[in-house]
Chain A
Amino acid sequence: GNSVTQMEGPVTLSEEAFLTINCTYTATGYPSLFWYVQYPGEGLQLLLKATKADDKGSNKGFEATYRKETTSFHLEKGSVQVSDSAVYFCALCISNFGNEKLTFGTGTRLTIIP
């Protein structure tokens, strides 16, 4: 079956620090990969995605590269801000003109201190 393993939190960093949240996956088939973010008091929202090997998804200064050889999709940001404090979820789906149910990792809570 499909599964996602991501770095356990919580993670606490100082403002302007470099961020990496690790994510690896197991999938039967060729998945699309995602990072979702849940800000305090808000709903889950898509942060970035990549649909094929070597694709790089990016948004709001965050980046993640689809690495098929290592089955990974690590999230990175060069300089974090207090406003990046949230819970981050790595996810995958097998997209095939039909059910695109997402398989999520357990989530990583990130806190940025000024």
Chain B
Amino acid sequence: GAGVSQSPSNKVTEKGKDVELRCDPISGHTALYWYRQSLGQGLEFLIYFQGNSAPDKSGLPSDRFSAERTGGSVSTLTIQRTQQEDSAVYLCASSSRPGPSYNEQFFGPGTRLTVL
């Protein structure tokens, strides 16, 4: 079946512009995660959505970052007034409903963001 998809695969933008990154999780997966992979910080958690519950935004690095998940499926990560330090690969992952043991997260191919 289809895996997690992300778009665009690459995005080049100018400093100060806003960008939107999209994630389509695996159908039926209720949990969705955003991570960021950068040279300076490695792979770090950004935000988590589970069903209709309030998201865990504890990993968002600043208030320029926001995310939403519409209809419990597609998610959009928005970065306002981009800075050069926002350049990174943004990864989305989804997993099935939480249970007593770990539910494997399936990762998308990522969006490579370059801020000039």
Contact = CB atoms under 8 A, between A and B. Distances in A.
B74 to A, nearest CB: 18
Give the interface size class of chain B. 20 to 34
Interface string B90-108: 0101010011111111011
A102 B46 CA distance: 10
Interface string B25-60: 000000101010000001111001010000010010
Interface residues of A, number: 22
Given A99-B48, A100-B102, A101-B33, A107 B42 contact: yes
B56 A45 contact: no
Chain A contact residues: helix, strand, loop or mixed: loop
B42 to A, nearest CB: 4
A98 interface: yes
Most chain-A CB neighbours within 10 Å: which of B50, B104, B105, B110?
B105
Contacts of A107: 42-43
B109 interface: yes
Contacts of B93: 44
A95 interface: yes
Interface of A: 32, 42-46, 49, 51, 89, 93, 95, 97-107
